[in-house]
Structure 1
Amino acid sequence: MSLTVFAIILLGAALHATWNAVVKGGVDTLLTTCMIAAVASLIALAAVPFLVLPAKESWPYLGVSVLFQVLYFVLVASTYRIADMSQTYPIMRGSAPLLVATVSVFALSEPLSTFAWFGIAVISLGILSMAAAPSAGHRKGLVLALINAGVIAGYTLIDGLGVRTSGAPAAYTLWIFLLTGIPLATWALVTRRAVFCDYVARHWRLGIVGGAGTVASYGLALWAMTQAPIASVSALRETSILFGVVISAWVLKEPLTRVRIVAACIIAAGAMVLRLG
């Protein structure tokens, strides 16, 4: 892996943590999430005319994935409304590959290497350590983070099947961004039109940062996978956990205890080992 590819993967990881921080730092986390999803949808809308349509066989997967993505955004907003990002972001990001691996073994009968099982054990240790760190909204925040990890695992498995049948991975991904933003923006406009429009007028810069960040994060990862082994790219992307902890402490001024630092590092290390395994 070249230094350029390495740096781009890290940039993508940092961007993912950044848009999560935008949600957490928003005055209204749900409206911020709707704004970010709407911006991402507009970016995708500008790009899809220049790409081929995904194969029709992939559209059922795409439709189900969009439902999962909408739920994911809502849960991100709900989690950050009551709990610290430095505690819940590592759990959401780190638990998802653990759940994907578990489903792959017991439901899809895909064997895992000893190395991968070691990664699962390390992630589990990290999650237990993070759960032991007290904070505001502790119990409910952890529950929401774990539920969202399940949602992430769900759309990861669905997209893994969908992108294989799409014949156009980039187009498939952009259509997900495009379609996910529509129900979220529609909900905000129908139920809280005046408030949402005023919110966007005052915070549109954050919307652009968050929306562009979520699209660019995934786009950079896709590009990197054409330049380096997929397992290596996936493993390195888990550094977003560490970026998330640093950003939450430095920008959001969340309390960063020794337990949280150690637990986040354990989860990130376990996720990397699992991805490489």
Structure 2
Amino acid sequence: MTPLVTAAVLLAAFAHACWNALAHKIPDKLVGFALISGGGLLLGLVAALFTGLPASGAWPYLCASAALHIVYYALLMTSFRLGDFGQTYPIARGTAPLVVTVLAAVFAHETPNGWVAAGIALSCAGLTGVALWGLRGRRPNWAAVGAALGTGLSIAAYTVVDGLGVRVSGAPLAYIAWLMTLQGLVLPVYAVRRLRGRPAAELRPYVPLGLLGAALSVTAYALVLWAQTRADLAPVSALRESSILVGAAIGALFFKERFGAPRLAAAGLLVLGIGLMLHAG
């Protein structure tokens, strides 16, 4: 990966952790995700006015990705509702790189060389360590862990679908605009039906957070999709999951969740793995 692609993915990782933290901060998860999804819908519609349509071959990928993103939102909401941000977020994100590596080899014929494979393996070990620290001495919430693992599988699925789709679209910006439009329809409609009767004054304080989260979400994924047109899917996915470090730091600073020496050691493995991938590039 070139320095420009690396910088874009790292910026995407930071933005992604921030919008997830905003979603976690809103007490009613349905409200938070509906605002973020609805904000993405508005941004997608505006962008689509300027980008036009992607190539016809991209539409099956867009429809499949929109469905997978809805599943992703539902599982992520569940994991955030049941578990700590500092653990469910790393588990969800840490599951994806290894699965993406396998799927990219099968569907995109991208087989990583030894350096990249070692880097991905070390990164995943570090991500797992960041995720599991804090479980010592108490039973994990298996429902939260299961939802986070399901989230990770959905991330891997839409990452590969979008990596293939954006390459045949001929226009990455058009692809992201229409993806945000398609996936942004369902949650707001569902939320309106579920929240009917709730006073507007009760929901209004969360609108700025939701719209900020939407802007960060669209920016993060647009950068990732662009990077996927310039580099292989597996290393982009693994590097993107450096967002876990940002998420763990946010959990410690703002949600008062522990970030001790074992997590620092696990973070070191993650950084080493990223270094190997960049060395290979």
| TM class by smaller structure | 0.7 to 0.9
Structure 1 letter corresponding to 2:26: G
CA distance in 1, matches of 2:94, 2:274: 6
- Residues 269 and 94 of structure 1: CA distance in aligned 2, closer, same or farther (over 3 Å): farther
- Residues 169 and 136 of structure 1: CA distance in aligned 2, closer, same or farther (over 3 Å): farther
Percent identity for Structure 1 against Structure 2 = 36
Q: What is the SS of the residue equivalent to 1:193?
A: coil
CA distance in 1, matches of 2:15, 2:117: 29
Count of paired positions: 274
User: In the alignment, which residue of structure 1 is the partner of 2:126?
Assistant: 126
- Residues 136 and 220 of structure 1: CA distance in aligned 2, closer, same or farther (over 3 Å): farther
User: In the alignment, which residue of structure 2 is the partner of 1:84?
Assistant: 84
CA distance in 2, matches of 1:121, 1:7: 21
Q: What is the SS of the residue equivalent to 1:91?
A: helix
Tell me the C-alpha RMSD between the 2 structures.
3.0
Q: What is the SS of the residue equivalent to 1:195?
A: coil
Kept in 1, the 8 Å contact 2:93–2:244? The answer is yes
Q: 2:185 aligns with which of 166, 182, 192?
A: 182
CA distance in 2, matches of 1:108, 1:224: 15
Alignment of 1:49-198 (within 5 A): 49-105=49-105, 110-126=110-126, 128-129=128-129, 130-131=131-132, 133-134=134-135, 138-195=141-198, 197-198=200-201
Kept in 1, the 8 Å contact 2:120–2:238? The answer is no
Kept in 2, the 8 Å contact 1:123–1:266? The answer is yes
Structure 1: stretches of 5+ with no match in the other structure: none
User: In the alignment, which residue of structure 2 is the partner of 1:25?
Assistant: 25
Kept in 1, the 8 Å contact 2:123–2:238? The answer is no
After superposition, the C-alpha distances for 1:153-190 in whole angstroms (9 at most, x for unaligned) are: 10011112211221111111111111111100000011
- Residues 107 and 180 of structure 1: CA distance in aligned 2, closer, same or farther (over 3 Å): closer
CA distance in 1, matches of 2:195, 2:62: 28
State the shift of 1:275 in Å.
Answer: 7.4
Kept in 2, the 8 Å contact 1:38–1:184? The answer is yes
Q: TM-score, normalised by structure 1?
A: 0.85
CA distance in 2, matches of 1:68, 1:272: 31
State the shift of 1:140 in Å.
Answer: 2.5
Structure 1 letter corresponding to 2:36: I
- Residues 225 and 57 of structure 1: CA distance in aligned 2, closer, same or farther (over 3 Å): closer
Kept in 2, the 8 Å contact 1:236–1:272? The answer is no
Q: What is the SS of the residue equivalent to 2:41?
A: helix
- Residues 198 and 265 of structure 1: CA distance in aligned 2, closer, same or farther (over 3 Å): farther
Counterpart check, 1:241 vs 2:244:
yes
State the shift of 1:234 in Å.
Answer: 6.0
Q: Name the stretch that deviates more: 164-173 or 7-16.
A: 7-16
Q: What is the SS of the residue equivalent to 2:197?
A: helix
Q: TM-score, normalised by structure 2?
A: 0.84
Structure 2: stretches of 5+ with no match in the other structure: none
